[in-house]
Amino acid sequence: MRTSELRVATISDIHLGASRTATHGTIVGLDAAFPDNAETAALDLICLVGDVFDQLLTLNDDDVAEIKLWIGRLLRTCKKHDILLYVLEGTPSHDRRQSQLFVTINEVAGIGANLKYVQDISVEYEPALDLWVGFVPDESAPTTDQTLSQIHAQMQEKGIEQVDLMFMHGQFEYQLPAHVKAQKHSSEAYLAITRCAIFIGHVHKYSSFERIYAQGSFPRLGHGEEEPKGHLRAVIHPNNDTDVTFVENTTAQKFISVRCIDQPVEDALMEIERRVRDLPMNSAVRVVANHDHPLFADMDALKRLYPFFIWSKNPIDPEEEEIQGLGDIDEEEFVPITITRENITELLSERLVGMGITQELLMIAQTKINEIR
């Protein structure tokens, strides 16, 4: 039984290599979040809770060298201060197993940090911290019910009824509107099997529900993300009470939208001036106005007036916007499952079972799939 406090930091949805957010700026923020100082040294555990990467990067990509250097710095900091580092695989279309880089750099550079890169649903005991930990990468199974069943099966196999911490990438039902048709984890089910706290990535906005904490994205990645960004610090007491603090990433690139609908040009320019006067360089500013607004006839004038910002426009028809807004509640969201070498057998098996084939034919089909995948 633990007799001392446990200090944990969680960060997710870093999206290195994103097209609209400079990787260099994100890494500046990461270095500021985990500097080599006494505050970082006090941590027992850091978990990168999925989507470290935004897209598949190639060796000649300008960002790759800087990303590798940052990984090396983080690993060396963890080694120096005896911090356990977990790296959870996120959404397959983002991470694409590229977090294997942490393992490669840790080994090839001889750093020797206490690192665990988690690609699959798992339940593990961490002897150094006397913790049971559950891991749920995104799209680990075709449905969230199957994901939960796999967690239950592993816990039963290990003879436990609860884990101390759960690290997940996905979404709980409380994070999305009820009408959105997407795979959602059950908060009730996961709270029942988690003793202290659940940390989840994927949805980019910070939120909490009972003992569930969503970090949100570390940088801003586009318009519509004007809320604070950052990571979480948690102190887990010996009685399992948990104090969680949001630490803002004050270096996160700004993305703001200035609404100038039905405003005369003079009023629109005054509103733009009010919103941008205190913005840092390289902020992204989007002007939202009627599709025939005079501002859109010469956006270059705004660029000349404010050359240190990234400008874009969003022309709309106010009447269509109102009608669309009323109709949104009936729309369904299509959330695809990414097909990979690791999950194709399970996905095709599910489809074949649904077609009613016999167990004998299913086994033959699985053998053939495994031969060619």
pTM, to two decimals? 0.82
Q: Last residue of some domain: 248, 271, 305?
A: 248
Mean pLDDT for 178-191 is 90
What are 51-65's pLDDT values in tens digits?
999 999 999 998 999
Kindly state whether residue 1 falls inside one of the protein's structural domains. Answer: no
Residue 311 domain boundaries: 255-326
Mean pLDDT for 158-169 is 97
What are 275-290's pLDDT values in tens digits?
999 999 999 999 999 9
Distances (CA, A) of 253 to 33, 65, 290: 15, 21, 26
Residue 359, pLDDT score: 62
Q: Last residue of some domain: 248, 266, 291?
A: 248
Please determine, for residue 247, whether its predicted confidence score (pLDDT) is greater than 90.
yes
Residue 104, pLDDT score: 97
What are 233-244's pLDDT values in tens digits?
999 999 999 999
Residue 199: what are its φ and ψ, rounded to 5°? -120, 125
- In the chain, which ranges are E strands? 6-11, 45-49, 84-88, 115-118, 122-126, 131-136, 163-170, 194-202, 207-209, 212-214, 230-236, 242-248, 255-259, 284-290, 310-316
Mean pLDDT for 22-41 is 96
Same domain, 39 and 170: yes
Kindly state whether residue 348 falls inside one of the protein's structural domains. Answer: yes
What are 84-93's pLDDT values in tens digits?
999 999 999 9
Q: What is the CATH number of the domain that holds 63?
A: 3.60.21.10
Residue 328, pLDDT score: 35
| Distance between first and last Cα of the chain | 45
> Do residues 207 and 222 make contact, with C-beta atoms less than 8 angstroms apart?
no
